[in-house]
Amino acid sequence: MPSSPLSKASSSESSSAPFEERLRAVARDSYHDRHPFNIRMHQGELTPDELRRWIRNRFHYQRHIPVKDALITAKLPTPELRRMWLRRIEDHDGRKPGEGGIERWLRLGEAAGLDRELLKDQTGVLPGVRLAVDGYVNFCRLRSPLEAVAASLTELSAPDIMRTRVDAFERYYRWIDAEGLAYFRGRQSQGRRDGKEALALVLDWARTESEQELAIAALTFKCQVLWALLDAVELGERPSGAPR
């Protein structure tokens, strides 16, 4: 494990290139921008109720991002690495009330006509969404630092989907106030930064074939988490009488 996130250029850049390409291929080819729900969203085909259902249930994932990042931070061995990863928590929680990505997602919900207290109420979260999010948080809690960090490499594809999403909302969902799109705009630059930092760590840590396979499997798992979340949202509301 390195003593700093980006401290030393690898002496085997050529040998790590195929591994990096495999990581990028997973992040690109298995990312949830290819899910039918996201495709319909970006083509302007979602109804207001479908879009609100996504915003509400996706918030359950958003509110757990700083939780999983706190678990990852606790695994890192040096102050330099911990400071780097702590910034991710601050990005979502903010330094003070009214700041951060979670607050911006609440404002997105309000712009779409959802009360923020409804968004905060976890009892309405779809069971499939809850299971997907719990699975990811527990993965970061129980797996190695390499696997937990590698799972975050979906950030490599995040900037592109955020640009597509802003364009789609501005074009097709004009009933949502443009100020509500601040979360998507902010994540474009944050995603590029976070993806670059995490990729450098994974390339440095995963030196053996078995370590590289663990990293690939972790990133694949994260893509499946995001896909499963959308499966649940696309299926729809909880049937009457279903357990909470």
Q: Residue 90: what pLDDT?
A: 96
Q: Residue 151: what pLDDT?
A: 98
Cα distance between residue 189 and residue 187, in whole Å: 6
At 162-197, the pLDDT tens digits run 999 999 999 999 999 999 999 999 999 999 999 999
Q: For residues 82 and 14, which has the higher predicted lDDT (pLDDT)?
A: 82
Angular region, 110: left φ>0, alpha ψ -120 to 50, beta rest: alpha
Domain boundaries, the chain: 16-235
Q: Is the pLDDT of residue 91 over 50?
A: yes
Q: Residue 147: what pLDDT?
A: 98
CATH 3.30.420.240 correct for 16-235: no
Structure tokens at 110: 């309000």
Pair 206, 145: CB distance under 8 Å: no
Tell which residue, 150, 140, 5, 137, has the closest CA to residue 74: 140
pLDDT over 70 for what percent of the chain?
91
